[in-house]
Structures are given as C-alpha cells and as structure tokens.
A = this chain, B = another copy of it.
Amino acid sequence: MGSEHGEDAAAPLAERLRARGLRLTPQRRRVLEAVMALEHATPEVIGARLREEAGPDGAAPDTSTVYRTLELLDRLGLVWHTHLGKGAPVYHAAEHPHLHVVCASCGEIASAAPDLLDAAAERLAADLGFTVDVGHVALSGTCRACRERTGSEHPS
C-alpha cells in the first residue's frame, strides 16, 4: 500500500529522464522528493527544505539548480505548478490532479476536486475550443473565516 516516497518516486523520474537522454542526479531526486513531501511549496520553500534536510554540513542543491530542476520536472510532467496571486508559483506532485482555491485575504490554500470545473471546461471547449488545464487552475476568493471577519476589501 504505502507508495509515494523516495525510492518509489524516483522510478518514473529515472525512466523519463532516460527516455530523453538526460541524467538522474541526486539533486533531481531530492527536489522531486521535496515537492512530493511539501504540498504547495514555492521554489524558495523547497530550497529551504532541502537545506535543512542536508543539515549545516551536508550540501543542498543550489538555488539555481532548484529552479532549473523544477522547470525540468514540470516539463517531464512529474510536477505541476500554479501561480497563486502575485508571489512565487507553488509546485505539487503531478500524481493526483486537483485544483487550487486561494483565499485572497489570508492566503490559505485549499484543494478542490478536479471535476469541479468539468461543466465549465466543456462549455469552454465547445464555445472557444479552449482546453482547460485543471492542474494549473487557481480560483481566488474569500474563505469562510475571512469572510466572517472582514466582509469586503480587495487584497492581493
């Protein structure tokens, strides 16, 4: 049953890399593991995580490597990224597609079932021939807590 850590995760990675004549490096494996472990993490947070995993002595992948690797994993279809508001994009493992819901007030991120937008997606496909990419979608709005607290305002 348990089936989504370290060793397991590296398998598809190795495969896809090989298929493109690319190399499986420890950095790439670590970045992918970090993305899977942290939900909705920004490149910055992922970097920090890798640094603490490595400890004050061990070496963690460089920031530029984290960026390059995230872009690569994205291209390989192993991770997805979403831009929630103005800041950095957040990455999550590609396994279970789901869409993101972000509170514009508190920044809280919630996930919703991927079929939430099925109807809308069909309509867009029919009307504009536009294919919605559920994994990349982010809906912004206000969560219950903030709604009760403030009621208005237009934050980022």
- A-side residues, CB < 8 A to B, are 74-75, 77, 80-81, 83-86, 89, 101, 103-104, 110, 112, 116-117, 119-120, 123-124, 127-133, 136-144, 147, 153-154, 156
Contacts and interface: CB of A to CB of B under 8 A. Distances in A.
Number of copies of this kind of chain in the complex? 2
A10 to B, nearest CB: 20
A143 B138 CA distance: 18
Q: Is the interface of A mostly helix, strand, loop or mixed?
A: mixed
Nearest to A74: B154
Contacts of A103: 130
A142 B154 contact: no
A116 B112 contact: no
A128 B130 CA distance: 28
Contacts of A140: 132-133, 136-137
A139 B128 contact: no
